[in-house]
Amino acid sequence: MYTQGLDGKIGPVREAETAEEKEREARFQARIDAEERIEPNDWMPEGYRRTLIRQISQHAHSEIVGMLPEGNWVTRAPTLRRKAILLAKIQDEAGHGLYLYSACETLGVERAELVEQLLAGKAKYSSIFNYPTLTWADVGMIGWLVDGAAIMNQVPLQRCSYGPYARAMVRICKEESFHQRQGYEIVMTLAQGTPEQRRMAQESLDRWWWPALMMFGPPDSDSVHTAQSMKWKIKRVTNDELRQKFVDVTVPQAERLGLRIPDPQLRWNPERGHYDFGPVPWDEFWRVIAGEGPCNRERLEQRRRAHEEGRWVREAALAHAEKRRLRDRAA
Ligand SMILES: [Fe+2]
Ligand SMILES: [Fe+2]
């Protein structure tokens, strides 16, 4: 079992030692360079496997924990239609978590172990889900900005070198674009509403903008895994490139909504052909990652409770499977 690595401290990848090992790693890299997909039964370097387990499990945990801030609004959605849409969206996220745990299991780790890591507070998930959803506008903001950032991140992952991960991303990305649009539509409705609704939308954007930019991870200069992940084609685009792309796409959307992005340094740079933007508050990012965000404790507490409450379902399913196995054997 690969329990190490889930806390992000996997240490340097061990160098190939013997000539035979070097040869095998060179063959592996040549397959990656030739854009071949790596499949579960193929040989792969231990570092590649561990990096994928870390990344895919963090991604799976993010989908599952990500259900919580939105779940907070299911009973308070303003109309029955909004409630039905929100429920469907949250169920999609559960499905994403399940695809990803399955993809991760193809690397030789068990889902129960990954879940245990999460519940023990040893695994990471996206820092964004440690922020509270205080108003209905936050549900719109999550769809527009958080799912929007997720799409930006995940579209290049459809070309990830590891087959099961890349394939899981195809369907996930289709669903994410529905999520992004439902969020944008909520925000648009508010932005075209009463002055109070417009204020609510603006206040929400003010709180979510910087955490959304943090979703792409630390700057490339501080990102320990980027270079190796790019070489292995697990990652296709760097954190800073994705962040820039997100800003470039989102600023015109905010303008159309008549909302103001809370960044006084934000302006179009015709020479670069991109928006320049102010410094991301990285201190806050590192604090949230370290467990000191506004809702870290609450989220884990809620997951632990849900896991406990679901225990009888897991036990019943296992007992049922065992009974069927015995029956099949007797027949
Ligand atoms: Fe998702
Ligand atoms: Fe989503």
Write out the DSSP string of 278-305.
----HHHHHHIIIIISTTHHHHHHHHHH
CA torsion sign for 219, 157, 3, 29 is negative
| Contact between residue 306 and residue 65 where contact means Cβ atoms under 8 Å apart | no
CA distance 138 to 86: 12
Angle at which helix 239-257 crosses helix 195-214, to 10 degrees, equals: 170
CA distance 147 to 159: 19
CA distance 163 to 174: 18
Bridge partners (DSSP) of residue 274 are 269
Distance 93 CA to ligand 2 centre (A): 6
Residues 10-35: b if buried by 16+ CB within 10 A, e if exposed: beeeeeeeeeeeeeebeebeeebeee
Helix (H, G, I), strand (E, B) or coil at 28: helix
Instruction: With 0.95 as the threshold, say if the pTM is over it.
Output: no
Distance 328 CA to ligand 1 centre (A): 38
Distance 186 CA to ligand 2 centre (A): 15
Neighbours of ion ligand 1 (CB under 5 A): 63, 93, 96
**pLDDT given at position 14:** 60
pLDDT in tens, the chain (331 residues): 333 334 444 445 566 678 988 999 999 999 999 999 999 999 999 999 999 999 999 999 999 999 999 999 999 999 999 999 999 999 999 999 999 999 999 999 999 999 999 999 999 999 999 999 999 999 999 999 999 999 999 999 999 999 999 999 999 999 999 999 999 999 999 999 999 999 999 999 999 999 999 999 999 998 878 889 999 999 999 999 999 999 999 999 999 999 999 999 999 999 999 999 999 999 999 999 999 999 999 999 999 999 999 999 999 999 999 999 999 999 8
pLDDT in tens, 2-61: 333 344 444 455 666 789 889 999 999 999 999 999 999 999 999 999 999 999 999 999
Distance 93 CA to ligand 1 centre (A): 4
**pLDDT given at position 6:** 40
**pLDDT given at position 16:** 64
CA distance 69 to 182: 16
Distance 60 CA to ligand 1 centre (A): 9
**pLDDT given at position 246:** 98
Ligand nearest to the CA of 177: 2
284, with CB counted inside 10 A (0-12, 13-18, 19+), is middle
Torsion of CA 7, 294, 66, 317, to 10 degrees: 70
